[in-house]
Amino acid sequence: MRVRFWGTRGSIPVALTAADVRDKLAQALVQASGKVFNSYEEAHAYASSELDFNLTHTFGGHTPCVEIEIPGEEYYACDLGSGARPFGVHILAKQARKPATINVFMSHVHWDHIMGFPLFGPAYVPGTKIRIHGCHDVLEQAFRKQHSAPCFPVEWEQLGATIEFVKLEPGKPFLINGMTVTPHLQLHGGDSYGYRFEYQGKVVVYTTDSEHKLEDRAEAEKFAKFFHNADVVIFDAMYALAEAISVKADWGHSSNIVGVELCQMAHAKHLVLFHHEPANNDATLEGLLKEARRFEELTRGDQALKVSAAYDGLEIDL
């Protein structure tokens, strides 16, 4: 089982600016002052081992799209934000002109989670089968409206793929090609749904656009049960804790610290911070990651919790 991240931002896509690139380069040059590199390989090794992640990488700018890979010929993904465009490129390259079967599980239909579909290449390939799963009654309506004038020049009927919408029930396990998928209702405007994916003893939980109020102990315990013993929990950590409980309370998102607390309650193994605030640059996001890791160290019980921050291109093998 493999998790591959094609889009990790929330709300709206963002990109590095020329100023951002110059700043990273200037900081890297300062840190490398006095060093001599006789080859590209030496410079690359130094950058990989000595420089901070926020100087050598970016957390990326695409909105949510996360691939869940299991053995077999079909594809599986959570959400179709702008990360769906590179996901589609990947599928077309891997299929080498052969039609694909793609299964999508939608958390909800806010624009940042569906905006990549009009540029999702496989949707234009005749013979391709796309099954879009979700719990919302407006699931099909949202996708179709996005393809209607004046929003986009390609009408829904012009798509080459066969597209099916599959209605799921919250709390009811759904079996697909040997993988069990269970949706879970979350607190978010218009409702959102997390998904628990179970395959051959491995568990991945995808839970974005969900606000958690830990003072509601019964609700927290429901989520701890949903996350229970998960190998990976992909968690909405859009805000720092101070924001989440003050000026941005009731905005439908959560924080890095709450993610740690819930995963510790659930005895999960790996927390991946996700749905990054578009206003936060790479240095800020790395700071939130370090804060979460430090909090995990201070509150650790019998089991350590690995804490990572998602970035476009990250792959996790289970």
Q: Is residue 27 part of a domain?
A: no
Distance (Å, rounded) from C-alpha 307 to C-alpha 262? 13
Whether residue 34 is contained in a domain is answered as no
pLDDT of 94 > 90? The answer is yes
In 3D space, the residue among 176, 295, 306, 174 whose CA is nearest the CA of residue 232 turns out to be: 306
Model confidence at 184, pLDDT cuts 50, 70, 90, reads very high
Q: 77: domain range?
A: 2-14+57-317
Q: HEC profile for 129-180?
A: EEEEEECCCCHHHHHHHHCCCCCCCCCHHHCCCEEEEEECCCCCCEEECCEE
* Residue 37 within a domain: no
Please give the tally of structural domains in the chain. Answer: 1
230 lies in some domain = yes
Residue 267 lies in a domain: yes
In a domain, 71, yes or no: yes
- Quickly list DSSP for 24-68: HHHHHHHHTTT---SSHHHHHHHHHHHS-HHHH-----PPPEEEE
On the question of pLDDT at 214 being above 80, the answer is no
pLDDT per residue as tens digits for the range 62-93? 999 999 999 999 999 999 999 999 999 999 99
Asked if residue 194 belongs to a domain, the reply is: yes
Residue 31 in any domain: the answer is no
Give the pLDDT confidence score for residue 252 in this predicted structure: 76
Has residue 13 got a pLDDT over 80?
A: yes
CATH number (domain holding residue 166): 3.60.15.10
The pTM of the full predicted model, rounded to 2 decimals, is: 0.94
- Which residue did the predictor score with more confidence, 18 or 248? 18
